Structure 1
Amino acid sequence: MTVENEPGGAATLAAESGYQSYPVAPGYRVNVRSGPGTGYSLVKVLPYNAWVTINCQTTGTTVSGPYGTTAIWDCIGNGQFVSDAYVKTGSDGYVASRCA
């Protein structure tokens, strides 16, 4: 998983991994869950101004956030998911491959 506070650092690491990094909504500390839904256990909380690398995406609990209402969840690491409603991907749909 890659979480960076420096946009340049996230872009560099994303390029190396083959995955794209995106900023988390400004002013939010976003919950990272063990699965794609609010019923999964809390793994950690991302800091303000975090960037995340999306490894894959899947459907889960519908969540409303600053970037709309969606059932898409972003896998940012092994057993680490955040709602796409809090990640600025520039799209209302999938921007990465579906999780297997």
Structure 2
Amino acid sequence: MKLTAIITFCVASLAASTNAYKIYKADVVNCRSTPSTSGKVVRTYKPSDNISLTCQTSGESIKGNSLWDKTTNGCYISDYYLKTGSNGYVAGKCGSSGGSSPSTGKIPGPIKDDYPYKGSCGGVDKWNYYKCQCTSFVAWRINSRLGVKYTNMYKGVNWGNAKTWDEAARGTGVAVNSKPVAGCIAQTNAGVYGHVAWVTKVSGNSVTIEEYNHGGTEKYSTRTVPKSTFNYIHIKV
């Protein structure tokens, strides 16, 4: 499949995290006004503190980890020092105002072929993918359902074929893991070009996906498969 990678951009809860996390790898950690060591120190946390989060965002890389956690105290600590049990997002992604990104009310949306280029395949779409390929369909869903202005040069990086979407996601601070959520992108490196699809439902150990160019050449289809079939990209959270 040309320009097709199966990475799932998952949408997590937009509410503040109900879990409390602990500091580790340090005796005291600074909580700053911005997600950077240049931000003003607002307060400090110790390993004995229980820390709840409102959202997470990318920022200055600390020992290879560019994720920062906004606490309920309104300041940011490097995720490197917080024991969340995950290398990716466990809370909603912070919006430009520093709060959780608002829901569009369209996630994951109805299960239907709403792809704008159906029946008009051939050539390159406005997101710089080949029309009626899996990558083009998923790019459409990211824009229309997530409200994210995604293209093949998202965050200054060329995402290319589906096979390289996981690498591109990690390289731009987008979480990739094995935990699907309705509204994520499912991604696999299998095949020559890989494959991506839209996760529309998660049930037990299975996911239901919508996709293009899998069930038939340049055609829309749906299927339910084991969770382990894909990686999952969380572009909204």
Do they superpose with TM above 0.5? yes
Q: CA RMSD in A?
A: 1.8
Question: Which residue pairs with 2:93 in the alignment?
Answer: 98
Residue 5 of structure 1 corresponds to which residue in structure 2? none
Is contact 1:35-1:79 (8 Å) kept? no
Match of 2:31 in 1: 32
**Alignment partners' CA distance in 2, 1:79 and 1:57:** 11
Partner in structure 2 of residue 20 of structure 1: 19
Paired residue type of 2:51: V
Rg comparison, structure with higher value: 2
SS of the equivalent of 1:52 reads coil
> Residue 59 of structure 1 contacts residue 73 of structure 1 at CA under 8 Å; is this kept in 2?
yes
Please tell me the residue identity of whatever aligns with 2:89. Answer: Y
- What is the CA–CA distance in structure 2 between the aligned matches of 1:38 and 1:47, rounded to whole Å? 18
1:84 partner amino acid: D
Determine helix, strand or coil for the equivalent of 2:80: helix
Equivalences for residues 1-100 of structure 1 within 5 A: 19-25=18-24, 27-64=26-63, 69-77=64-72, 79-100=74-95
Write the distance in 1 (CA, Å) between the matches of 2:83 and 2:58. 17
CA distance in 2, matches of 1:18, 1:91: 14
Residues 89 and 18 of structure 1, relative CA distance in 2, 3 Å threshold: closer
Tell me the equivalent position of 2:221. none
- Consecutive unaligned residues of structure 2, counting only runs of 5 or more, are 1-15, 96-237
CA–CA distance in structure 2, aligned partners of residues 45 and 18 of structure 1: 20
Task: Check whether the contact 1:30–1:46 (CA below 8 A) recurs between aligned residues.
Answer: yes
1:76-97, Cα deviation, whole Å (9 max, x unpaired): 0354010000000111111111
Count of equivalent residues: 80
Is there any run of 5+ residues in structure 1 with no aligned partner, and where? 1-16
TM-score scaled by length of structure 2: 0.32
Relative to its length, the structure with more strand (as a share) is 1
SS at match of 2:21: strand
- C-alpha separation in 2, matches of 1:50 and 1:78: 13
State the Cα deviation string for residues 1-60 of structure 1 (Å, max 9, x = none): xxxxxxxxxxxxxxxx75221111165211010011111111121134222101100000
Q: TM-score normalised to the size of structure 1?
A: 0.71
Which residue of the partner structure matches residue 14 of structure 1?
A: none
Letter in 2 for 1:57: Q
Secondary structure of 1:55's counterpart equals: strand
Residues 41 and 49 (structure 1), Cα distance of their counterparts in 2 relative to 1, 3 Å cut: same
